[in-house]
A and B are shown apart, each in its own frame.
Chain A
Amino acid sequence: MYAFTYHKPSSVRQAAAMLAKNEDAKLLAGGHTLLPTMKQRLASPSALIDLGAMPELKGIERKGRSVVIGAMTRHGEVAESAVVREAIPGLAELAELIGDPHVRHRGTIGGSVANNDPSADYPAALLALDATVITNKRKIAADEFFQGLFVTALEEGEIVTKVSFPVAQKAAYAKFRNPASRYALAGVFVAKRGSDVRVAVTGASENGVFRWTAAEEALKARFTAKSLEGMAPSPDGMIGDIHADSAYRAHLVGVMARRAVQAATSR
């Protein structure tokens, strides 16, 4: 790691002010992406602004027809939350598939969403559930928020504070883990709310998380795994690496989508 200064503000307002003052500063949430990157000397922020001391960023609550999760809520808390399990069990199941138990004790939903790693799990849930990202400045719909590999709608000095998930009637996530890293190699979140069906895919595309509209249309006709039989997105634009070339990845997206629908319809 290169040297940096460390700050631990007690409010989002303070954090935003620090961020504004120091353009090389980075926000430290769970740290489970940022710190490994810094250890490898692939990132060299001059300052870290630790969001760990702000009660306003923590907590999970049911607000009407939505579940609102504070940005600094750990994956493990989401996985075990009675509120999430009751309202959107598929979201709790997704959280339980992130990393390993120790990682889930530290990693946060805000960090995951703000980083928009193409292999992260949460972006699929946000996109499929039509969630809203709430920042210190505004509210951003998931469809607008994720803009490509590691790119989001967040502006300079903007801090994710909460994510609001509308409750779906049926929702589930199926993930094929990268055999080595355990990140999503193909992760598919399906959600049905009223007549709307959304299918979001992570880990697979060179452009990051995306909605698989062909699958959505097929599922709108009939929300059953059979509707997706034989379907897979085009391998063009899929990530190819030593663990999965683009054709295999595209195929896995189809399999995971069917399995997610199966899980969503069997509860």
Chain B
Amino acid sequence: MTGTGIGAPVRRKEDQRFITGAGRYTDDLSRPGQAHAYFLRSPHAHAKILSIDTAAARAMPGVVAILTGDDLAADKIGGLICGWMIHSKDGSPMKAGPHPALAQGKVRYVGDHVAVVIADTYAQARDAAEAIEVAYEVLPAVVDARAAQKAGAPQVHDVADDNTVFRWHLGDKASTDAAFARAAHVTKIDLVNNRLVPNPMEPRAAVGEYDPGNESYTLFTTSQNPHVARLVLSAFIGVAPEHKLRVIAPDVGGGFGSKIFIYAEETVCVWAARKVGRPVRWTSDRTEAFLSDAHGRDHATHAELAMDENGKIIGLRAQTIANLGAYLSTFSSSVPTYLYAPLLSGSYDIPAIYAEVDGVYTNTAPVDAYRGAGRPEATFVVERLVEVAARELGMDPAKFRKRNYVKRFPHQTPVIMTYDAGDYGASMDKALELADYKGFSRRKRESARRGKLRGIGFSSYIEACGIAPSQAVGSLGAGVGLWESAEVRVNPTGSIEVLTGSHSHGQGHETTFAQLVCDRLGVPIENVIIVHGDTDKVQFGMGTYGSRSGAVGMSAIAKAIDKVIVKGKKVAAHVLEAAEADIEFKDGKFTVAGTDRGVGFADVALQAYIAHKFSGQDLEPGLKEGAFYDPTNFTFPAGVHICELEIDPDTGVTTIERWTAVDDFGVIINPMIVEGQVHGGIAQGVGQALHEGAIYDESGQLVTASFMDYRMPRAADLPSFQVGMTVTPCPSNPLGIKGCGEAGAIAAPAAVMNAITDALGHEDIAMPATPQAVWRAAQKNAAMRVAAE
């Protein structure tokens, strides 16, 4: 490890611009001649559009154009797509309804896009939108997925007659049922995984531009994966040809999944820019974000765990109904299926697992990946089941987990995954020590003396990250491959530009990726720049989500660096007049083995470009290498989080007193950044468990459509976290990285709810465990105590 190499807590290179206000986010751009777009959105959850009268609005000051779904259809612009095909258990393909960027004939959720007004100023566009007269025939709406499947429920899409997009399953039902038949004990639980709104602090924004001279388009957008946006906008939506569309995702203020997807607004901005002959910009306000960003989670699950007489888990089965919202968002179908059920084995050796998942349309905003995407839902099921099972069996929850952990690797689960490496017991032991588990009962008594209820809860999560290999995801229905690309350009002066298909929106790639280059090529970190987020600069990439940028994106860079070293050796051989096989590269220097003769990396770079020392026919000039890296397996970060909290039974307020996280992310490039990712993930997980929940009323209005009603975690809600690490290198990629971006959000909800139920002494509480919910549960708790006495 050098001062700036792998393993060093290097301070972030990108911070200079952010702490001085010099960051450049999409809304910070100002384009010459720009016009402003405002979307007229449906006030109804479900309605037929009988007519749209824009005449009065068109006559308003500053209005440039008003466009509707009819205009989209006339221009043959296709609908938004869902890129992952799921087949039902009967073999039929999922039932995907049309998803036009502007509604055509029908609106299906509050916030659905009815028309766009383009005007000289934002205020004018908004004023004119109020003058558009839309005649709706309001239809009954359904917001709950279970209700949507019932006979007679309002039908969201014609293609799905019971609103069911798919009835999917995974695992072996017969062997699982057999395991339950011979079980000594069965634990059963019903869980709701509450619907969340991702709420990155930067709202979505887009600027579309058209250059008539080159017939080319540019889209600036708040995207986690600009190349995929370009591919979908060109190949599927057909708004512009791929080679004539440049997508730039500049600084992006957080994503958490919600900026993976290709949305109506960015589609319309590109399309409209050509129609009006001016750049068209749109920035979401927060209420629009609540209404129209893809939401997360929203599962209802019944799950059961079977144990033998020794407390060994022998089977797990789960039935889940997943609310997918009114349309299938870009990756929505994969989240409650292949990103969920394959993780139902958790960290445990469970010989038989069977899961059934129904994906259901409702009159709510589309639901798609949100930090963790499927894996938090799976972890919540497994870790709540395991905790409750331990309580029912009268076993210590830590001991019960350790008894059932997977202990030998590789381990094939009954649900697709082959866990490659881990040491779950080591994480648990370290977490127990850091959390002072032994001292808990003393602390609980002390709380009780103050009239408070104290609880402790575990979450021994596992996740599958990297989301690769391409062949594997292709066989599971993915529409794309999930490799990553990189190009390492060494300049004649020895400075280095790394082009990556990953995208940083808070993760610190400009630092960690440079650390890798530093480590491998021995160049100063200030001589390395990471280029990302522009399809004109980076040839292709799959973007950042699923904790994949380290394991997959950096592996691609490592592969390209290896090629640079190979080429560098050839150049050095000429410079040093030695055989290529005798050249070694170490610490930034090419040397002839066994001699003190050598040449520095920067000199080799210069020689590669001036090509004075070798024939350009025998060896191509230049020093630039690219690589596509497709991993051999998912990666499996795992760890143990322990939450200790205190409940005030008078008010129902829950205070998190201690949080211990011990994670195994494999090899760590920058521990400072990794710990930061853990902190942020925990906060979002705690948010889900205690505070956050998107609530629709029965008519389909989003009740929680602003920060006035949707409860975000604040600084005073959280303690400082105690974060520890264990390391088992990942054998499936050249760097040994597993990924860390989602772990906290995956682990935290179960840890909190296990602690709350521990404090209460019963399981009858759902997320979010708001003060009201906890107070009510504590009332029941008190009633139970009275009954027992």
Contacts and interface: CB of A to CB of B under 8 A. Distances in A.
Q: Do chains A and B touch in the complex (CB under 8 A)?
A: yes
Interface of A: 1-2, 176, 179-181, 242-245, 248, 251-252, 255
Contacts of B527: none
B188 interface: no
A1 B772 CA distance: 35
B650 A180 contact: no
Interface of B: 123, 127, 650-652, 691, 695, 703-704, 707-712, 770-772, 775-776
A242 B697 CA distance: 10
B711 A255 contact: no
Given A243-B772, A248-B772, A248-B776, A181 B651 contact: no
Given A242-B703, A242-B704, A181 B709 contact: yes
A180 B711 contact: yes
Contacts of A1: 123
Given A1-B123, A242-B704, A252-B651, A180 B772 contact: no
Given A242-B695, A251-B775, 5 more contacts: A179-B691, A243-B770, A244-B771, A248-B772, A248-B776
B775 A248 contact: yes
A251 B708 CA distance: 23
Contacts of A251: 775
Contacts of B712: 180
Contacts of A252: 651
A242 B775 contact: no
A180 B707 contact: yes
Nearest to A185: B771
A67 B708 CA distance: 33
Nearest to A36: B708
B261 to A, nearest CB: 26
Contacts of B704: 180, 242
B707 A255 contact: no
A180 B770 CA distance: 11
B771 A179 contact: yes
Contacts of B691: 179
14 contacts: A2-B127, A176-B651, A179-B771, A180-B707, A180-B709, A180-B711, A180-B712, A181-B709, A242-B695, A242-B703, A242-B709, A244-B771, A248-B772, A248-B775
A180 B708 contact: yes
Nearest to A247: B776
Contacts, number: 36
Contacts of A244: 771-772
Contacts of A179: 691, 711, 770-771
Contacts of B123: 1
A255 B771 CA distance: 13
A244 B651 CA distance: 11
Contacts of A245: 772
A39 B83 CA distance: 38
A201 to B, nearest CB: 16
Contacts of A255: 650-651
A245 B772 CA distance: 8
Nearest to B770: A179
A99 B507 CA distance: 32
B688 to A, nearest CB: 14
A180 B772 CA distance: 13
Nearest to B771: A179
B437 to A, nearest CB: 30
Contacts of A176: 651, 771
A255 B772 CA distance: 13
A30 B228 CA distance: 47
Given A245-B772, A248-B776, A251-B775, A180 B651 contact: no
Contacts of A243: 711, 770, 772
A169 B708 CA distance: 36
A173 to B, nearest CB: 16
A175 B356 CA distance: 46
Contacts of A181: 707-709
Top 5 closest pairs, chain A to chain B, by CB: A180-B711, A181-B708, A179-B711, A248-B772, A255-B650
B710 A180 contact: yes
B491 to A, nearest CB: 46
Contacts of B707: 180-181
A184 B75 CA distance: 52
Nearest to A1: B123
A255 B123 CA distance: 46
Nearest to B717: A179
Contacts of A242: 695, 703-704, 709
Nearest to B126: A41
A242 B768 CA distance: 12
Contacts of B708: 180-181
A39 B711 CA distance: 21
Contacts of B711: 179-180, 243
Nearest to A245: B772
Contacts of A2: 127
A252 B776 CA distance: 12
A146 B776 CA distance: 33
Nearest to A176: B651
Contacts of B771: 176, 179, 244
A210 B664 CA distance: 56
Contacts of B127: 2
A129 B652 CA distance: 29
Contacts of B775: 248, 251
A115 B695 CA distance: 29
A2 B127 CA distance: 8
A179 B652 CA distance: 12
A14 B442 CA distance: 67
B361 to A, nearest CB: 24
A252 to B, nearest CB: 6
A251 B775 CA distance: 10
A37 to B, nearest CB: 12
Nearest to B710: A180
A184 to B, nearest CB: 14
A169 to B, nearest CB: 27
Nearest to A258: B650
A144 to B, nearest CB: 31
B62 to A, nearest CB: 13
Pick the most buried of B123, B704, B709, B710: most chain A CB atoms within 10 A of its CB.
B709
B511 to A, nearest CB: 31
A180 B197 CA distance: 14
B262 to A, nearest CB: 29
A84 B135 CA distance: 58
Nearest to A252: B651
A64 to B, nearest CB: 39
A232 B695 CA distance: 29
Nearest to B775: A248
A1 B123 CA distance: 8
B702 to A, nearest CB: 11
Contacts of B651: 176, 252, 255
Nearest to B690: A179
Nearest to B650: A255
A258 to B, nearest CB: 9
A255 B776 CA distance: 15
A8 B492 CA distance: 63
A91 to B, nearest CB: 23
A251 B649 CA distance: 12
A142 to B, nearest CB: 27
A65 B575 CA distance: 93
Contacts of B703: 242
Contacts of A180: 704, 707-712
A176 B712 CA distance: 17
A179 B654 CA distance: 12
Nearest to A255: B650
Nearest to B285: A39
A33 to B, nearest CB: 12
A1 B650 CA distance: 42
Contacts of B709: 180-181, 242
Contacts of A248: 652, 772, 775-776
B771 to A, nearest CB: 7
A98 B772 CA distance: 22
A255 B778 CA distance: 15
